[in-house]
Amino acid sequence: MTNEVPISYSRSFQTHLILPPDTNHHNSIFGGKVLAYIDEIAAITSMKHAKSEVVTASFDSVDFISPAYVGNILELEAMVTSTGRSSMEVYVRVMARNLKTGELRLTTESFVTMVAVDESGRPVQVPKVYPETERERQLFETGSTRRELRQAKRLNTKERRRLLENLE
Ligand SMILES: CC(C)(COP(=O)(O)OP(=O)(O)OC[C@H]1O[C@@H](n2cnc3c(N)ncnc32)[C@H](O)[C@@H]1OP(=O)(O)O)[C@@H](O)C(=O)NCCC(=O)NCCS
């Protein structure tokens, strides 16, 4: 597969009303709930791009920047910002909207690696992406640095796993 697809093709949006069962005793949303939303939109976005099934390979980074409260609307945006052979880096931005004041705040940012797989769970090739806007270009052009860091972390993790394998 050699075709290239614009980032905008698979860009996805989701909104959720934050309800009391989603929140802790500070009335702010549980981090785990936000992670589940991020995982879901990253999967949708990468499936749109790859036109195949995907699995989550890693949450490369998650930054909880400010809390989002019960009654706020969570607005998620996700896009595939760079690709390898079968892996896709997905950037997810989560904003919290206060419906009464109209204030919109950045609450969480994350980079997730999703891998396209076939029916047997084997990695399959995905099309490349290309940026069209300045924001997309910024995310796209910094993707190779994040990929290098990811690969270094993966090697390091493999080595740690190997060392711990025989220890109680
Ligand atoms: C992700 C998975 C398919 C990778 O399989 P694998 O046999 O390690 O395959 P490879 O080593 O060929 O890696 C395939 C791609 O995934 C990337 N990858 C694998 N593990 C990764 C990790 N932990 N972080 C980031 N990227 C990773 C590789 O860099 C490679 O990318 P590329 O094709 O763009 O170069 C496999 O580990 C898996 O199925 N994991 C479980 C997924 C899962 O259950 N997720 C949660 C529920 S969906």
Query: Rounded to two decimals, what is the model's pTM?
Result: 0.95
- Ligand 1 centroid to Cα of residue 70, in Å, is 36
Q: Which of 37, 43, 45 is nearest to 62 (CA)?
A: 37
Which of 115, 119, 146, 157 to probe ligand 1 with, by most ligand atoms within 8 A of CB? 115
For residue 2, the model assigns a pLDDT of 53
For residue 167, the model assigns a pLDDT of 83
Q: What is the overall mean pLDDT for the chain?
A: 96
pLDDT band at 67 (very low <50, low <70, confident <90, very high): very high
Q: Dump pLDDT digits (tens) for 135-166.
A: 999 999 999 999 999 999 999 999 999 999 87
Which of 87, 124, 158, 161 to probe ligand 1 with, by most ligand atoms within 8 A of CB? 87
Q: Which of 71, 77, 89 is nearest to 129 (CA)?
A: 89
- Ligand 1 centroid to Cα of residue 118, in Å, is 13
For residue 168, the model assigns a pLDDT of 72
* pLDDT of 78 higher than 70: yes
Q: Please compute the mean of the pLDDT values over residues 78-106 and round it to a whole number.
A: 97
Decide which of 162 and 92 is more confident: 92
Q: Please compute the mean of the pLDDT values over residues 102-109 and round it to a whole number.
A: 97
- Ligand 1 centroid to Cα of residue 116, in Å, is 9
For residue 166, the model assigns a pLDDT of 78
- Enumerate domains of the chain plus CATH numbers: 4-167 (3.10.129.10)
